[in-house]
Amino acid sequence: MPPSWMAACTFTARGLAGHLPVGTTGRRDEMTKVKMETELPVEPENVWETVGRFNALQEWHPAVESSEMEEGGKVRRLRLAGGGEIVERLEQLDEEGHAYRYSIVSSPLPVGRYTATIRVRPAPDGKGSVVEWSSDFEPQGPEQEALETIRGIYQAGFDNLRKLFGG
Residue ranges of the chain with per-residue pLDDT less than 70 = 1-29
How high is the pLDDT of residue 167? Answer: 76
Domains of the chain: 3-165 (3.30.530.20)
How high is the pLDDT of residue 29? Answer: 61
How high is the pLDDT of residue 26? Answer: 46
How high is the pLDDT of residue 8? Answer: 42
Please state, rounded to an integer, the average pLDDT across all residues of the chain.
87
The verdict on pTM exceeding 0.85 is: no
104-128 in b/e form (b: 16+ CB < 10 A) is beebebbbeebbbbbbbbeeeeeeb
How high is the pLDDT of residue 28? Answer: 52
The CA distance from 25 to 164, in Å, is 35
How high is the pLDDT of residue 82? Answer: 83
How high is the pLDDT of residue 156? Answer: 98
How open is the CA angle 110-113-116, to the nearest 5 degrees? 90
